[in-house]
């Protein structure tokens, strides 16, 4: 601690009590003993912190903003780490408007980038997520997060990065080392073995700078919403999503499919008084509430991007594919939503009704597809909160006591496989008294990622234990049927990392060569 204070300054070093209070709270309910926390302000500070950690053999756990809610927040995978909080590295280092490339540090958030682009009149979309405006762009990309804007794969949009290695040296790609910084940022793969991927979902270095390709602001954005009134339409919807992605191509972004329970969680307070004997809302109650809120068995949402002529042609294809399988299909623009809100606002009886709530939700969703970060999805984490919490101010689910664990498996875009997956989630969640809230998001025309928030009352130890048990049961059931996660929480790294197999032997060999003292994020996506 004395060595870190000498190198970083007293204000940048938090003792164990302060670090535990600030970083030791997690939505999953997992607890880890944190030794201290460091808050560097520059790359030189990071290198100094690493040098001291190496000297004394103390493991560091880097975070960007620590808002990794549902996957561990700021909590390390293991006890006895020092949190390295990189939020103070918050510069937008460079923006190339001609190429649409922005270089950011770990503390740059979705909100920060949106304000930067707006102030300079730069026509690009922010790679938004449902986690909210105050989450790190760099951190989400390193977790291989995704969104619904045109560049949906956020690590796929990373073209270059710099990282501090465990020995304190600064990593750059081969092209960067040769002095070709400009071409390095413009071309993702560089030359020679591709090593940047070691820093995504890994623990080989501390990424301090990243270049991200931004999708250009299209001339026209047209969102669409469609509804499947009966659950039996899920297979047909899967085929329709795949067909749309193949026929419409690059004009079409990702498509979401959400079940009725998931939509209710975004629409009304949790109807705790209607819970059945198994600890969840009975199907009849879900059907009644969904009918009252004008929510279908499955709701689909997507958006078309591009020149107005192409978007119009794409909309015609979407309409042709969806009309035979759904009764309700609506195309939305900011102007249509604004007109609907004005109309509803003039009628006192409708201002607080289901139509008004749907209109507000659709407006917020339309902002997201236009690359404008907002908090439309964040209140989901608060659905099971028993104590009243204002959703108007600064939201931080970990700090505010929310219970949330994300289960995020990959699901092949095959109708019978999708049906099987949905059945497993329903069966396992209900057996653990957890509401099965299901979203399927297209990552390609071959694969969905499903995001299932396991919500619980974190003040109730029994509910927290059930949620953790449910998470493990979902991981095990998914493994048996081939539905494996693309991302995992810190408390389940032991489930994921299995030494003695060629993949893990190679990971262990690389880690041992780069970080023989295991001072960087021990246990993160590795044995």
Total of domains in the chain: 4
CATH number at residue 195: 3.30.465.10
DSSP-derived secondary structure for 27-58: TT-----EEEEE---SHHHHHHHHHHHHHHT-
- The closest alpha carbon to 300, from 357, 365, 250, 383, belongs to 365
**Looking at the domain assignment, is residue 271 inside a domain?**
yes
Say if 519 falls within a structural domain: no
Q: Is 145 in contact with 126 (CB distance < 8 Å)?
A: no
Residue 113 lies in a domain: yes
282-324 confidence digits (pLDDT tens) = 999 999 999 999 999 999 999 999 999 999 999 999 999 999 9
Residues 358 and 236 in one domain: yes
293 plus 190 within the same structural domain: no
φ and ψ of 158, to 5 deg:
-80, 125
- Evaluate whether residue 500 is within a structural domain: no
C-alpha 351/C-alpha 362 separation (Å) is 15
Nearest one of 483, 474, 475, 476 to 418, comparing CA atoms? 483
Question: From the CB of residue 212, how many other CB atoms can be counted at a distance below 10 Å?
Answer: 25
| Distances from the Cα of 490 to the Cα of 78, 107, 502, 521, angstroms | 8, 21, 23, 11
- The domain boundary residue, chosen from 213, 240, 257: 213
**Domain end: 73, 88, 103, which one?**
88
| 63 shares its domain with 157 | no
Q: How confident is the model at residue 346 (pLDDT cuts 50, 70, 90)?
A: low
Looking at the fold, whether 255 and 238 belong to one and the same domain comes out as yes
Coil, strand, or helix at residue 417?
A: helix
Range of the domain at 299: 218-376
Mean pLDDT of all residues in 512-519:
95
Asked if residue 46 belongs to a domain, the reply is yes
CA distance 407 to 489: 8
On the CB side of 141, CA atoms within 13 Å amount to 34
Residue 276 shares a structural domain with residue 343: yes
Cβ proximity of 49 and 7 under 8 Å? yes
Q: What is the predicted pLDDT for the residue at 498?
A: 85
C-alpha closest to that of 40 among 206, 199, 213, 217: 206
Expressed in angstroms, the distance from the first to the final Cα of the chain is 28
Q: What is the DSSP letter of 87?
A: G
The whole-angstrom separation of Cα 426 and Cα 184 is 46
The answer on 370 and 236 residing in a single domain is: yes
Q: What is the percentage of the chain residues whose pLDDT exceeds 70?
A: 94
Q: How confident is the model at residue 355 (pLDDT cuts 50, 70, 90)?
A: low
Q: Is residue 183 part of a domain?
A: yes
User: Cα–Cα distance between 113 and 133 in angstroms, integer?
Assistant: 10
Are 187 and 73 in a shared domain? no
- In a domain, residue 520? The reply is no
CATH number at residue 409: 3.40.462.10
CA angle 35, 37, 42 (to 5 degrees): 150
d(CA 437, CA 452): 6
End position of a domain, from candidates 185, 213, 241 = 213
CATH number at residue 64: 3.30.43.10
Could you tell me if 371 and 269 lie in one domain? yes
83-123: per-residue pLDDT in tens? 999 999 999 999 999 999 999 999 999 999 999 999 999 99
Average pLDDT over residues 40-69: 97
- Looking at the structure, tell me whether residues 223 and 153 fall in a common domain: no
* 478 shares a domain with 423: yes
146 and 233 share one domain: no
Are 206 and 227 contained in the same domain? Answer: no
In a domain, 261, yes or no: yes
List pLDDT tens digits, range 201-222. Answer: 999 999 999 999 999 999 999 9
Per-residue pLDDT tens digits for 472-505: 999 999 999 999 999 999 999 999 888 888 999 9
Give the C-alpha separation, 460 to 451, whole Å: 24
Q: Give the separation between CA 101 and CA 13, rounded to whole angstroms.
A: 34
């Amino acid at each position: 601690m004395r060595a870190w204070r000498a190198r970083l300054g007293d204000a940048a070093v938090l003792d164990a009590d302060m670090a535990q209070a600030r970083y030791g709270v997690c939505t999953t309910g997992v607890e880890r003993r944190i030794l201290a926390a460091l808050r560097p302000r520059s790359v030189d500070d990071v290198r100094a912190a690493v040098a001291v950690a190496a000297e004394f053999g103390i493991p560091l756990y880097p975070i960007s903003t620590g808002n990794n809610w549902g996957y561990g927040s700021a909590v390390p995978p293991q006890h006895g780490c020092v949190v390295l909080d990189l939020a103070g590295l918050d510069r937008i280092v460079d923006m190339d408007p001609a190429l649409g490339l922005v270089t950011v540090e770990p503390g740059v958030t979705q909100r920060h980038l949106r304000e930067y682009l707006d102030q300079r009149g730069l026509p690009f979309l922010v790679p938004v997520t449902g986690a909210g405006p105050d989450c790190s762009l760099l951190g989400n990309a390193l977790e291989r997060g995704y969104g619904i804007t045109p560049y949906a794969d956020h690590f796929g949009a990373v073209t270059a990065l710099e990282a501090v290695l465990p020995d304190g040296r600064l990593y750059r790609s081969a092209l960067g080392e040769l002095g070709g910084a400009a071409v390095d940022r413009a071309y993702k793969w560089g030359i020679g073995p591709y090593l940047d991927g070691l820093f995504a979902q890994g623990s080989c270095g501390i990424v301090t700078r990243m270049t991200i390709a931004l999708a250009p602001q299209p001339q026209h954005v047209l969102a669409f919403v469609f509804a499947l009134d009966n659950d039996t339409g899920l297979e047909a919807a899967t085929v329709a999503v795949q067909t749309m992605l193949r026929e419409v191509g690059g004009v079409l972004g990702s498509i979401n499919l959400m079940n009725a329970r998931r939509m209710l969680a975004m629409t009304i307070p949790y109807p705790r008084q209607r819970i059945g004997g198994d600890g969840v809302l009975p199907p009849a109650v879900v059907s009644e509430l969904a009918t009252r809120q004008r929510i279908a068995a499955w709701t689909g949402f997507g958006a078309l991007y591009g020149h107005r002529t192409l978007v119009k042609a794409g909309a015609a294809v979407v309409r042709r594919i969806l009309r035979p399988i759904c009764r309700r299909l609506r195309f939305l623009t900011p102007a249509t939503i604004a007109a609907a809100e004005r109309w509803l606002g003039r009628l006192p009886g409708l201002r607080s009704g289901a139509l008004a709530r749907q209109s507000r939700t659709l407006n917020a969703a339309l902002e997201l597809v236009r690359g404008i970060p907002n908090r439309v999805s964040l209140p989901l984490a608060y659905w099971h909160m028993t104590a009243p919490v204002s959703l108007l101010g600064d939201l931080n689910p970990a700090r505010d006591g929310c219970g949330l664990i994300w289960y995020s498996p990959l699901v092949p875009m095959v109708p019978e496989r999708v049906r099987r997956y949905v059945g497993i989630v329903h069966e396992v969640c209900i057996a653990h008294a957890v509401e099965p809230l299901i979203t399927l998001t297209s990552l390609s025309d071959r694969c969905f990622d499903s995001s299932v928030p396991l919500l619980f009352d974190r003040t109730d130890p029994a509910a927290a234990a059930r949620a953790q048990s449910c998470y493990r049961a979902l991981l095990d059931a998914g493994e048996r049927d081939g539905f494996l996660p693309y991302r995992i929480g810190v408390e389940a790294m032991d489930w994921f990392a299995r030494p003695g197999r060629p993949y893990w032997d190679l990971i262990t060999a690389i880690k041992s060569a780069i970080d023989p003292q295991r001072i960087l994020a021990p246990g993160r996506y590795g044995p």
